[in-house]
Structure 1
């Protein structure tokens, strides 16, 4: 059985970058594959054989090192697939054969390789959210393939996707999550069709790609009051999570990513102005006292951001945002359990809650979006985009004063 190791060779010149390479060993024969990555000794951990980010590393360098982590993961995954395939089909293969197959272009056949290449391209042009969405779905498909490894684009057909759907169901994946994976894989497959790498065979034709209506994650004004008034003085992290949740609620269910990137300069003359990350739609919100009360609790003097989510602008901001999101939702779930809520409490519940309470106050559906009551979010955006902001501000004041 062949093995693959990641190695670092430091430069013979002091203060110069060394190189990373993959070592393939089979039948006592070793071959090297240059990973095309250069790093400093302090950026490599020999014990774990992985890239590390030393304290104080500049943000641009952090991005570079993260990209190397992703490339190494993709390369080693590809090498494992190659080894698994050779173990099944060619018992007498050599280490040289492994190297040869590694350097075959991903576009020469593999669906997984093509998708990984596409994800890298999306990251390079700044479409990080789309790349992460695709990566989540691809990782699920990779787990499904297991030791079978990659599959030629031409062999991605209805039978394969039906088999994948059965796999998802047998692993307890709900229909909406299964559909989510399928839609993303379909989008990547269609990119391959556009590039004329494969003929369109509509492999997703017979699997479910719709969206089931689920139990709404809405809570009443009573529950929002309970969350707001909960004594968390002895639990600062839960208190912090509650504040972020309430800020989202006060700002008409602002999404977490939008809160994370709110800047102090976005608040002028009593109006909070920001552009949604997801839709690029600009929204204006009248500043209310409860919002100010939350801002006043935290020292953000060292950052341009309004909220204490991204706290160090010298480090990878996206990683800070994702880490904070995980922490906050984890603490919110504990708050939900403490209050005996039947649904998991997350920041997204604030959005549903605002819409639900606004509806109960007879605010027109066209004003509030009926958050998640519409069949699609695009319908919601059409309604909101056509409104005078004063109507929305009045609706927001009504919701806040109902507490």
Structure 2
């Protein structure tokens, strides 16, 4: 049997004679005091009624304070009913956590900031930036986002947010990005008991994020353009350095820029068949069951690595010359992002220098070209999926479906 009482916590008096107003819980001969962020002097408090005295001269706002205490009492009763219905033999700490958790529920903006802070503290900088970008966009659309409660983020709100993004000429894939991030935050908030499923705007009958997906043009080099990139040595140092980074990505099974940038000598391992670059993709390395990607260090790759070692200022034990200082955490992430922007600008210049007119060179082109090359050589999609580092074949199928045109071309010849 548990007992509850509002009282003044006499063991912690302030200099002005005010005592904290607490909820005291007694269960199994153990005590727990929960501070309610309210204060009173002894002459303001009615011990028997467990409320502020009805005296406006002593406490001008006693009605407001007593109403708040009644609200806390209702919350306590509601929580006890919940425990009883669930047949939960609750502990004092469990009661305190849920009692205070209920009082703190609801603020979307605060929860965003809290989650972003946790991600940064645990060095998930890229993920934190995704939430920061989404919160920034929400703030542009919703001037009251600082005060918005989770219960207000319903289907009507999400539909309006999507329309606002569309009016700002955001493409479907960009809108999908922001709404997926918002959905992930809502799911976590529900799990943390900060939000309710009652107003959840996604799922069955809710907003369908998948409907926003647009097929993007697959950016790969034709074989003659790939040959140009492989064999056209550049006299300009920046262009040659850029060309070799592009080819390094291509020969490393289309490794992404951030994964390429963070490779070190520790990623090179000797296996039964020789030296390999072994790593997990930054994008999914924290997911369950993610496998390592093993790239054989071929003679071509070795030549590129040797060129980097002889001609570029490698920092520490990094394999490629992207990171130029010993940064950590968010500073490192921002450094790589700035180098990524510069790399793509240089790739566009390189493409023009090589006379590649079909498409502008970007960091993604090396990855897409690698996948297309393997498919044209009749490599199975299961193998392509493995070297791309995809966690399932469905992702690879979406990635490759619009690549292959040779079969359609042959069908057209039959007409």
TM-score by length of 1: 0.61
Deviations 1:101-156 (A, max 9, x none): xxxx9945431221122111111122222212222222221221247754222211
Mean Cα displacement is larger for which, 140-149 or 303-312? Answer: 140-149
User: SS of the residue aligned with 1:241?
Assistant: helix
Larger-gyration structure (1/2): 2
* 1:350 Cα deviation after fit: 1.0
Map of 2:228 onto structure 1: 226
Map of 1:238 onto structure 2: 239
Map of 2:340 onto structure 1: 325
* 1:189 Cα deviation after fit: 1.4
Whole-Å separation in 2 of the counterparts to 1:252 and 1:357 = 11
Map of 1:360 onto structure 2: 376
Map of 1:286 onto structure 2: 296
* 1:340 Cα deviation after fit: 4.3
Determine which structure has greater relative contact order: mean sequence separation of CA pairs < 8 Å that are 6+ residues apart, divided by chain length: 1
Map of 1:214 onto structure 2: 216
Q: Label 1:342 to 1:189 Cα distance change in 2 as closer, same or farther (>3 A).
A: farther
* 1:266 Cα deviation after fit: 2.6
Q: Label 1:279 to 1:192 Cα distance change in 2 as closer, same or farther (>3 A).
A: closer
1:346 aligns with 2:362: yes
The total of aligned residue pairs comes to 275
Whole-Å separation in 2 of the counterparts to 1:332 and 1:176 = 24
Map of 2:201 onto structure 1: 203
Whole-Å separation in 1 of the counterparts to 2:218 and 2:327 = 39
Whole-Å separation in 1 of the counterparts to 2:139 and 2:357 = 36
Output aligned runs, 1:249-398, within 5 Å: 249-267=250-268, 268=270, 269-280=274-285, 281-299=291-309, 300=313, 302-313=315-326, 316-338=331-353, 339-369=355-385, 377-380=390-393
User: Structure 1: where are the runs of 5+ without partners?
Assistant: 1-104, 384-403
* 1:283 Cα deviation after fit: 2.0
Whole-Å separation in 1 of the counterparts to 2:208 and 2:360 = 26
User: SS of the residue aligned with 2:392?
Assistant: helix
Q: Label 1:116 to 1:107 Cα distance change in 2 as closer, same or farther (>3 A).
A: farther
Deviations 1:307-330 (A, max 9, x none): 111222266433332222121112
TM-score by length of 2: 0.60
Q: Label 1:248 to 1:143 Cα distance change in 2 as closer, same or farther (>3 A).
A: same
Q: Label 1:342 to 1:158 Cα distance change in 2 as closer, same or farther (>3 A).
A: farther
* 1:160 Cα deviation after fit: 1.2
Whole-Å separation in 1 of the counterparts to 2:394 and 2:335 = 29
On the 8 A contact 1:106/1:114 being kept in 2, the answer is no
On the 8 A contact 2:250/2:366 being kept in 1, the answer is yes
Whole-Å separation in 1 of the counterparts to 2:189 and 2:345 = 38
Deviations 1:265-309 (A, max 9, x none): 333453222233233321222212221222222345641111111
* 1:213 Cα deviation after fit: 2.8
Whole-Å separation in 2 of the counterparts to 1:309 and 1:365 = 31
Whole-Å separation in 1 of the counterparts to 2:153 and 2:221 = 43
Whole-Å separation in 2 of the counterparts to 1:148 and 1:183 = 18
Tell me which of 137, 149, 153 is aligned to 1:156.
Answer: 153
Over the aligned positions, Cα root-mean-square deviation in angstroms equals 2.9
